[in-house]
Amino acid sequence: MFTNTFATSSMSGIEKQGYFDDDDNIDILKCEESRTMDYKCLLILNSGIKKVLQITNNNECSEFSINAGKKGEIIFQCGSWGVNNTYYYQYDSISSNWYLIKLEYYKLPMNGPDDIGEHITYTYFIKKWAIDDCLMNLGKNKFVISKNLLKRQPLYKKPNIKTKMYLIKGDRVEVLEGKDDWLYILYHGKKDIKAWIPKNSVE
């Protein structure tokens, strides 16, 4: 168990330990001293593999941290004004790299007693994001897939279990998850709706 070190605005000068790859040996993350939001961190695996993480252009992250998760996992947190994005990257031993597997979006209830906040989990992405590609301009919209419905579309509680609800042609949805020929989507309307739809119903 390791204590998470948290740095406001930067990981400048921070060193952490954790199981960043898939073996049982402790690895090290060292971030250089910097007075700006642009800096480098060096990930040193016990196996001898080294990877430079370039943190660039993340001025929207007034709170930023890098932590070890479960074995083989690196977690980045970027937050500002009651909104927090948490990015989970999993180690792949074949490529000796980490890939985004989950993004969690949190918004604190800050607009009166009827505001319940928001928590959305995304596991479906526009491409296979390697950790090298992700650390510039961090933000939910960089990774989340939004699509338009091609026609009037019934909504499903589960794949093949239809509800009485539907969306209409042109409605825009965010994709949260994918399974076989189905997408789990989020529609922002008067009330947020989460449901399953066929993959071929969107463009």
pLDDT digit string, tens, across residues 55-106: 776 666 777 788 999 999 999 888 877 888 899 999 999 999 999 999 999 9
- Spatial distance between the Cα atoms of 125 and 30, rounded to a whole number of angstroms: 29
What confidence tier does 150 reach under pLDDT thresholds 50, 70, 90? very high
Say yes or no to pLDDT of 10 above 80: no
- pTM greater than the 0.85 cutoff: no
What confidence tier does 191 reach under pLDDT thresholds 50, 70, 90? confident
8 Å CB contact between 37 and 61: yes
- Spatial distance between the Cα atoms of 174 and 186, rounded to a whole number of angstroms: 5
What confidence tier does 2 reach under pLDDT thresholds 50, 70, 90? very low
Q: Which residues contact 164 (CB under 8 A, 6 or more apart)?
A: none
- Spatial distance between the Cα atoms of 88 and 119, rounded to a whole number of angstroms: 15
Q: What is the DSSP letter of 37?
A: S
CB atoms within 10 A of CB 78: 20
The residues pairing with 118 across neighbouring beta strands, listed in sequence order, are 107
- Spatial distance between the Cα atoms of 32 and 11, rounded to a whole number of angstroms: 8
User: Which pLDDT belongs to residue 134?
Assistant: 64
User: Which pLDDT belongs to residue 7?
Assistant: 39
What confidence tier does 128 reach under pLDDT thresholds 50, 70, 90? confident
Q: Which residues contact 119 (CB under 8 A, 6 or more apart)?
A: 104, 105, 106, 107
Say yes or no to pLDDT of 41 above 90: no
8 Å CB contact between 188 and 169: no
User: Which pLDDT belongs to residue 83?
Assistant: 84
